[in-house]
Amino acid sequence: MKKKGFTLIELIVVLFIMSIIIGVASIRFNVIDKIKANMELQTLINDVDYAKMKAIATGQTTYIKFGKDSYIVKIHDTFIEDKIFRQLDYITFLHFSTSNDGNLIEFNSNGSVTYPGTVSINVSDKAGNTKNYELVVIVGGGHARIREEQKRIHTY
């Protein structure tokens, strides 16, 4: 009587073929780049929340200063070397509509924002796919969120 089933070699061959197909598909559809770009966006919002909490915890003003493809989170006190510097691979900061003259978001010791506003963000992966977002920071409680940038429709 012959038993029905798969041998170990047959299972290993099937797993090997499946891993090749999944590897090619992930490269083909840029899944890894999309995941990394989303992780950078999530890290950005986490760092904004960190700056707010750091200002409340230390009782000192904390700021986030944006560059073209990087940002720094730092306490204003020059004697404390507690800063975060992030160089970004997928995110580019395009436009800053804050109430100060530069690219700065500042949190006071109570967690409120001195310079509220929006920061336009361009996220592009290695395949050239781009998507625009906005980092919105409001005065009341220093809340921050990232949203998809709204398409502006001109009416005449």
On the question of pLDDT at 1 being above 70, the answer is no
The pLDDT, as a whole number, for residue 150 is 67
> What's the CATH code, domain 34-148?
3.55.40.10
pLDDT tens column, 85-131 = 999 998 888 887 766 666 888 888 888 888 777 888 898 877 777 88
The pLDDT, as a whole number, for residue 154 is 46
**Domain extents in the chain:** 34-148
Banded model confidence at residue 156, pLDDT cuts 50, 70, 90: very low
Least confident of 40-54, 56-70, 88-102: 88-102
On the question of pLDDT at 14 being above 90, the answer is yes
Rounded to whole angstroms, how far apart are CA atoms 37 and 31? 10
Task: Check if the beta carbon of residue 121 is closer than 8 Å to that of residue 91.
Answer: yes
Q: What is the mean pLDDT of residues 31-53?
A: 89
pLDDT tens column, 139-149 = 777 788 888 87
Count of residues making up the chain: 156
SS3 of 86-141? EECCCEEEEEEEECCCCCEEEECCCCCECCCEEEEEEEECCCCCEEEEEEEECCHH
pLDDT averaged over the chain? 83
Least confident of 7-11, 36-40, 108-112, 152-156: 152-156
Percent of the chain with pLDDT over 90: 22
